[in-house]
């Protein structure tokens, strides 16, 4: 069972907002016991966004489901003592501070390794623990900007701000993957590990093809490449009712199927027109505008041509395929997305709301195991 993979693994989460809490939530889905440690005033993510009647935003509730939450003042002697007790019994510590903050609190990487030599200590920061940008503040938009990702995203007029925040989630994924690898390594060596993961490099890791294009042929133009909007056969078109279709018959066989289905066989040979295919894009756009989005969906339903409707979020969660897969769940006035992995046909268990708990009680229970 998927939820048994990390059973007995204890994770401390000292992170705020999105990246660290998402990474540790995925670990919880694999069966880890996650304790989120917040300052006395709480994670600022609790009040970032529309608030429920209990004074907490839904975004905080979503990324911290399945966890126990404690509040400790790491600037206070008692708080540091309790935190040290938790570290002693923990397997993983994920913290999202800027470089140097943990050391100023009395918990440098060296000190943490002394307290618990088996600890997997993951620092998840904006720009990493080294380099000239390491101490700088940032958010998802600035990480994407520095990685070059923002420059190649969106229409020709200007870069587009992506949603959901790409660097936050790619960084969370990278951190979770590194922690799992480190735990596997510890099972062989008995030694912990120090992980340095940056949100900027979470998106940088996806940029190798773009960097290579830029170095060999010049800077890629937005809407200037094969999969950035310059090709008629990989484009988003507005339908007659204002909805949109994603038309992506990249392979020639799919393009042939599409052209024949829309009764435009004359377009087949034009797939190789030079980029940007401005004239062909205009012709396809004019055709798509003659029917509503769902009319096109019905007309192309039996055609193998890589065309799908651009669904609004509320439509996406009700789509038959989404429902059949079972990862999107409406519960506790939230729409949660479970870890989208099937292991031996089974998915992760449903997540429960986070529980505010007592650090001293958890530390005592951990010492007894």
Are the C-beta atoms of residues 315 and 328 closer than 8 Å to each other?
Answer: no
Catalytic residue among 168, 235, 336, 354: 168
Q: How far apart are CA 179 and CA 237, in angstroms?
A: 41
φ and ψ of 54, to 5 deg: -85, 5
Q: Strands 307-309, 328-331: parallel, antiparallel or unpaired by DSSP?
A: unpaired
φ and ψ of 308, to 5 deg: -140, 155
CA dihedral 69, 21, 96, 83 (to 10 degrees): 20
- Whether omega before 276 lies within 30 degrees of 0, making that bond cis, reads yes
Are the C-beta atoms of residues 276 and 223 closer than 8 Å to each other?
Answer: yes
Q: How far apart are CA 330 and CA 58, in angstroms?
A: 13
DSSP class per residue in 276-312: S-HHHHHHHHHHHTTS-HHHHHHHTTT--S-EEE---
Alpha helices, DSSP H, located in the chain: 19-29, 58-63, 77-89, 101-104, 109-115, 140-147, 166-189, 199-204, 208-217, 252-261, 278-288, 293-299, 313-316, 320-325, 359-368
Catalytic residue among 73, 133, 139, 332: 139
DSSP secondary-structure letter at 185? H
In sequence order, the 6+-apart residues with CB closer than 8 A to the CB of 188 are none
* Catalytic residue check, 139: yes
CA angle 14, 20, 24 (to 5 degrees): 90
* Catalytic residue check, 354: no
Residues catalogued as catalytic: 139, 168
């Amino acid at each position: 069972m998927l939820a048994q993979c990390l059973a007995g693994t204890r994770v401390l989460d000292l992170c705020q907002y999105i990246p660290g809490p998402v990474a540790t939530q995925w670990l919880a889905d694999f069966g880890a016991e996650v304790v989120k440690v917040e300052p006395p005033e709480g994670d600022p993510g609790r009040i970032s966004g529309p608030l429920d009647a209990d004074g907490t935003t839904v975004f905080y509730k979503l990324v911290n489901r399945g966890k126990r939450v404690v509040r400790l003042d790491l600037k206070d002697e008692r708080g540091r003592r309790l935190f040290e007790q938790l570290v002693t019994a923990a397997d993983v510590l994920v913290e999202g501070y800027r470089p140097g903050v943990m050391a100023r609190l009395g918990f440098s990487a060296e000190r943490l390794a002394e307290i618990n030599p088996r600890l997997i200590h993951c620092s998840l920061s904006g720009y990493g623990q080294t380099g000239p940008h390491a101490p700088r503040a940032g958010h998802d938009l600035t990480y994407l900007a520095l990685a070059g990702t923002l420059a190649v995203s969106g229409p020709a007029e200007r870069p587009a701000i992506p949603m959901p925040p790409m660097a936050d989630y790619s960084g969370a994924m990278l951190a979770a993957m590194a922690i799992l690898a480190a735990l596997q390594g510890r099972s062989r060596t008995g030694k912990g590990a120090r992980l340095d993961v940056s949100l900027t490099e979470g998106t940088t890791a996806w940029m190798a093809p773009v960097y290579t294009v830029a170095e060999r042929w010049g800077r890629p133009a937005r809407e200037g490449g094969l999969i950035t909007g310059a090709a008629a056969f990989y484009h988003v078109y507005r339908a007659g009712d204002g909805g949109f279709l994603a038309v992506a018959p990249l392979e020639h066989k799919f393009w042939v199927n599409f052209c024949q289905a829309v009764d435009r066989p004359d377009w087949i040979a034009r797939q190789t027109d030079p980029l940007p295919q401005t004239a062909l894009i205009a012709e396809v756009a004019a055709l798509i505008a003659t029917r509503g989005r769902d009319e096109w969906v019905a007309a192309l339903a039996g055609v193998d041509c890589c065309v799908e409707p651009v669904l609004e979020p509320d439509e996406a969660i009700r789509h038959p395929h989404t429902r059949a897969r079972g990862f999107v769940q409406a519960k506790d006035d939230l729409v949660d997305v479970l870890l989208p992995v099937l292991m031996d046909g089974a998915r992760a268990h449903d997540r429960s709301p986070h529980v505010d708990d007592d650090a001293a009680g958890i530390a005592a229970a951990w010492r007894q195991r």
